[in-house]
Amino acid sequence: MAAPPGRSPEGALRVAVIGCGRVGATQAALLAAAGHDVVGVDVDESRVAALAAGDVPFHEPGLAAPLAAGLSGGRLRFTSDVAAAAGARVHLVCVGTSTRHAGAGARRGGVEAALAGLVPHLQPGDVVVGRSTVPVGTSRALAARVERAGATFVVQPDLLRTGPAVPHALDPGRVVYGLPTDADGVVTPEGEKARALLAGLEPHAPAHELPAVVTDYATAELAALATGAFLAVKASFVAAVTVLCEASGADVAALADALGHDTRIGRRWLDPGRASGGGRPTEDVRALVAAAEGLGVGRETALLREVDAVTVRHRVALVDLVRDACGGAVAGRRVAVLGAASWAGSDDVHDSPALSVAAQLQLQGAHVTVTDPRALDAVRAVAPALDPAATVAACVAGADAVVLATPWPEYAALDPRPLTALVARPWVLDACHVLDPARWRAAGWTYRAAGRR
């Protein structure tokens, strides 16, 4: 018997993943591991070649095994030809939409380009899923283009937590479906069919076992941005009270514990080490501010503008601590920065607090050496003025100040005793609040962390 349209002989869905960066490649590999027939499409030829060879072209723990299994089992392939998406029943658009320095329009342009290539290959009944974060109001126009091909557009935002993508994809915590609705706000029959189809597609536990929010396009668009922005609000609050702790002699870590035991608040994202912001939450704040201004309600989002400003000021305050420790100026001093990635477990340096601090110190005349377990190639590409070091020992050699700026576990576990003999002056700024102050002080170091005793 011939396989039904859009399904493999085994009955699994045929899926096309458009955009094979960190999110897309993870989705493709896990869906293939779950038994679906998957083709990944990306315009980056080198990325396609690496993934097709079973090599993960970025640091993503846990991805290599499902990638290899999908390739060896014949259920997964990668190509730069979008025509390979023809015949798939579901098309996941996972194009990267970082705003970088190009403004909010960068979030939309890549998705529009991807759809322009995909639409000619769609068939009636196909489902196109927008996983990319886009400006509020974008999806309605995207849906109109998809609907002209007889397909249905669904917004299913990537609610990715900062950290490894594989565990999150397997346990996202909830699922949001942004579906087409009629004039009365009721989900259309096509939307209901698309939701039923997608409920069996997730690589994690069946969707009915997770909290599912069924809503319209605009609400689903906002869900992704508001999630990151709210986390940034919590982090900026910690940054603000850190200043109070620094001035009053209070301890911000103990304060965070006191707040976190209140079930209305919770301890997560109150870690003092998050006060410098960075990564997607910071970016989502800026995107929400841009959306509000575009809709004429920018005044009502003044809080979010201040959130961004607070995190920036916290980074400046870290630089001030180093400068004060160096006698009021860092010009001619050697500063070692441990960590460059935006967060531990990644090689992504976009909006990295560590690189922001390093760059500010370098601009003030310091000789800045940076090390990182995974992100040194990115440092060389985006910050060539900084001096990369392959090891911690090489990084801290001759340093007048050491800054722990990304909370990699191997840095938190460092033994300070052998490092004491390598530095010019044993002074450390724990920007991540992960070191044991007593241990470092016992080894002869002056330990500093904003808002800590």
Residue 109 pLDDT level (bands cut at 50, 70, 90): confident
pLDDT at site 148: 95
CA atoms within 13 A on the CB side of 157: 30
End-to-end CA distance of the chain: 73
- Beta-carbon contacts of residue 396 (< 8 Å; ≥ 6 apart): 336, 338, 369, 402, 419, 422, 423
Instruction: For residue 218, give both structure tokens.
Output: 């605009």
Q: Mind listing the domains of the chain with CATH numbers?
A: 14-215 (3.40.50.720), 225-313 (1.10.1040.10), 314-448 (3.40.50.720)
411 pLDDT higher than 90: yes
pTM of the model: 0.86
Q: What is the 3-state secondary structure (H, E, C) of the chain?
A: CCCCCCECCCCCEEEEEECCCHHHHHHHHHHHHCCCEEEEECCCHHHHHHHHCCCCCCCCCCCHHHHHHHHHCCCEEEECCHHHHCCCCEEEECCCCCCCCCCCHHHHHHHHHHHHHHHHHCCCCCEEEECCCCCCCHHHHHHHHHHCCCCEEEECCCCCCCCCHHHHHHCCCCEEEECCECCCCCECHHHHHHHHHHHCCCCCCCHHHCCEEEECHHHHHHHHHHHHHHHHHHHHHHHHHHHHHHHHCCCHHHHHHHHHCCCCCCCCCCCHHHCCCCHHHHHHHHHHHHHHHHCCCHHHHHHHHHHHHHHHHHHHHHHHHHHHHCCCCCCCCEEEEECCCCCCCCCCCCCCHHHHHHHHHHHCCCEEEEECCCCHHHHHHHCCCCEECCCHHHHHCCCCEEEECCCCHHHHCCCHHHHHCCCCCCEEEECCCCCCHHHHHHCCCEEECCCCC
Asked if 435 and 410 count as a contact pair (C-beta separation under 8 A), the reply is: no
Compute the average pLDDT of residues 71-92: 97
* 152-189 CB burial, b ≥16 within 10 A, e <16: bbbbbbbbbbbebbbebbeebeebbbbbbeeeeeebee
The pLDDT confidence band at residue 370, using thresholds 50, 70 and 90, is very high
> Which position has the higher pLDDT, 24 or 110?
24
**Mean pLDDT throughout 326-330?**
96
Confidence label for 4 from pLDDT (cuts 50, 70 and 90): very low
Residue 361 pLDDT > 80, yes or no?
A: yes
Over 90: is that where the pLDDT of 399 sits?
Answer: yes
- Rounded distance between C-alpha atoms, residue 27 and residue 168, angstroms: 11
Question: CA triplet 148, 20, 208: central angle to 5 degrees?
Answer: 70
Strand partners of residue 334: 367
Q: Which of the four pLDDT bands, split at 50, 70 and 90, describes residue 98?
A: low
pLDDT above 90: residue 132: no
Q: What is the pLDDT at residue 102?
A: 38
Q: Is the pLDDT of residue 105 over 80?
A: no
Query: Distance (Å, rounded) from C-alpha 17 to C-alpha 203?
Result: 14
22 or 15: which carries more pLDDT confidence? 15
CB distance 294 to 135 below 8 Å:
yes
> Which of 176-185, 221-230, 303-312 reaches the highest mean pLDDT?
176-185
Rounded to the nearest integer, the mean pLDDT of the chain is 90
Residue of higher predicted confidence among 444 and 2:
444
- Kindly tell me if the per-residue pLDDT of 3 is higher than 50: no
Higher pLDDT, 105 or 234: 234
Work out the average pLDDT over 256-263: 94
The whole-number average pLDDT for the span 402-415 is 97
Is residue 1 predicted with pLDDT exceeding 90? no
Q: How confident is the model at residue 160 (pLDDT cuts 50, 70, 90)?
A: low
Under the banding of pLDDT at 50, 70 and 90, the label for residue 24 is: very high
d(CA 269, CA 177): 26
Contact in structure between 279 and 343 (CB atoms under 8 Å): yes
Amino acid at 187: V
Residue predicted with more confidence, 270 or 400: 400
